[in-house]
Amino acid sequence: MMALSFLNIIASIMVALLLYPLLTLTQNYLRVRTLGLPIVFSPFGRLNPFWVITQPYIAPFLTRLSTISDPFSIFQNFVDYSTNSCFFLSRYTLHECYGPAFFIVTPGLTELVIADAPAAAEVQTRRKDFIKNELNYKPLEILGPNVVTLNGEAWARHRRITTPPFNERNSALVWKQSLLQASAMLKSWIGKGERGVGNTLDDTMALALNVLMAAGFGKRFEFGGGSKEEKGDSMSSYRNALSIVLGNLYGAIMTSMLMGLPSWALPKKFLDMKSALKEAEEYILKMIEEERAGLVEKSSEGDNLMSVLLKASESEAMGKGRMGLSDEEIVGNLFIYNLAGHDTTSNTLAYAVIMLATDAKVQDWLHEEITSVFEEESVEKWNYERSFHQLKRCLAVLVSLIIILYYDIWLILSLSCSSKRSVSTAQYSTCRDTQPPRTNVSPSKRKRFSSHHTPSY
């Protein structure tokens, strides 16, 4: 009798687990069905943990299954708009099928997908109506709250304080360090001779990290080696820890959520990441204390991102009725600087090298501009203020690569609305497309990627 009751409980739980997603999927569908936009369904939200982990294995299986016979073809449709790489692979074809705006209804949040530039711009400028989705952004508080993850007044305060470090003076420092690192990387590549370079990404990741260390903390590292300071010092250890964290963002996010668990409960790869995160946080806090105490020796280039951020925070705190940033918030912002600047820069440079190697005409086009701007001047004498604004062709190449590469920026820029909101689209100019509560609005990926493949643009 006891065994039967136990089985009944287990069976009830299983039925509930199956019925609850179906119930929420139905509720979400009922919220959007009268809005006049096309609707597609997905059993998983794009950020569903189970789907994020298993889609590399399940998606190919579903794709193969869809080729068997007609009833199974529905699986291919699901894969077409549910995987993290779907919009990169499909370009604009999904919007050719469903229009410039359509809903993806899941048991979790409903997503409004937009490839209409005016509508996307409207959503992004109405910050009070369409706020950042906490579900998407909270995981990026790996070492603390920051300007990327916050909304409302907290975001305004962080933005006000974190803006001063990004100035022309610091850009000149980035320029100088980039030239030094790129020259060293080129020398390393030439030294490989006929063997050539098998993996550009490892080297561009090292280049980007070294530039970030110099611009962010005033610490110099040789390309392919250690710090100019003694090897084994705390800054070299911090650089290694940061390299581990930035090299596996998803691992860092998952580990930060499990930091409270005992060590014996974590696999080795999570233990290594946990150690790296703890080490990175400790070193940033130590550098903050040293900067405040005036123990950090200033370089000839002047302030770095950390010192300017601290000054801006203290200046803000001196204002009447205002407050600066806590140590946790400073650590969070310094870390997000590194995160935002490292992966994007290293990947863009890696792809730029590969694509330039395949197109001699573009190489000649860029060489013509560089020769015109710098003439016979040695690299050491290249000046940021005098030269950067003239390198329009170089900028055009990098911008075109960014458009191609960062289709998945939606993960960072997804917005949500907690109550009913409306936005106009070109196709539905006679009405206002009202977004129901618990709806993700994802304009940026489509505006910056799908929209760039839109025939009308």
pLDDT in tens, 305-353: 888 888 888 877 776 567 788 889 999 999 888 888 888 888 889 989 9
pLDDT on residue 413: 46
Q: What does the CA dihedral 448, 432, 438, 143 come to, rounded to 10 degrees?
A: 40
The yes-or-no verdict on residue 184 having pLDDT over 80 is: yes
Q: Are 223 and 210 in contact (CB under 8 A)?
A: yes
The yes-or-no verdict on residue 19 having pLDDT over 80 is: yes
Residue 224 is which amino acid? Answer: G
Q: Where are the domains of the chain?
A: 22-133+414-453, 167-358
- The band of 432, judged by pLDDT with boundaries at 50, 70 and 90, is very low
CA distances 13 to 1, 4, 45, 394, Å, are 19, 14, 22, 60
- The band of 364, judged by pLDDT with boundaries at 50, 70 and 90, is very high
Class of domain 167-358: mainly alpha
Q: Distance (Å, rounded) from C-alpha 385 to C-alpha 396?
A: 19
Q: Are 223 and 181 in contact (CB under 8 A)?
A: yes
Q: Are 221 and 228 in contact (CB under 8 A)?
A: yes
Residue with tokens 């974590």, as numbered in its chain: 266
Q: Are 441 and 130 in contact (CB under 8 A)?
A: yes
208: how many CB neighbours lie within 10 A of its CB?
Answer: 24
Q: Are 350 and 204 in contact (CB under 8 A)?
A: yes
Residue with tokens 């550098």, as numbered in its chain: 287
Tell me the three state secondary structure of residue 121.
Answer: helix
The enclosing H or E element of 205 equals helix 200-217
**Residue 394 corresponds to which tokens in the numbers above?**
């170089």
Residue 206 is which amino acid? Answer: A
Tell me the three state secondary structure of residue 396.
Answer: helix
Residues 6 or more apart whose CB falls under 8 angstroms from that of 39 comprise 29, 32, 33, 102, 103, 105
Tell me the three state secondary structure of residue 235.
Answer: helix
CA distances 25 to 21, 31, 71, 72, Å, are 6, 10, 21, 21
Pairing of strands 415-417, 439-442: antiparallel
Average pLDDT in the chain: 78
pLDDT on residue 429: 36
pLDDT one-digit tens code per residue, 22-53? 888 899 899 888 888 888 888 887 777 788 77
The yes-or-no verdict on residue 444 having pLDDT over 80 is: no
Residue 167 is which amino acid? Answer: N
CA angle 110, 114, 120 (to 5 degrees): 115
CA distances 82 to 58, 79, 90, 303, Å, are 12, 5, 12, 45
Partners of 114 in beta bridges: 101
Q: Are 334 and 309 in contact (CB under 8 A)?
A: yes
Q: What are phi and psi of 428, to 5 degrees?
A: -115, 55
Nearest to 94 by CA among 106, 84, 86: 86
First to last CA, the chain: 69
29 CB burial (10 A radius; 0-12, 13-18, 19+): middle
pTM summary value: 0.76
The yes-or-no verdict on residue 93 having pLDDT over 80 is: no
pLDDT on residue 447: 42
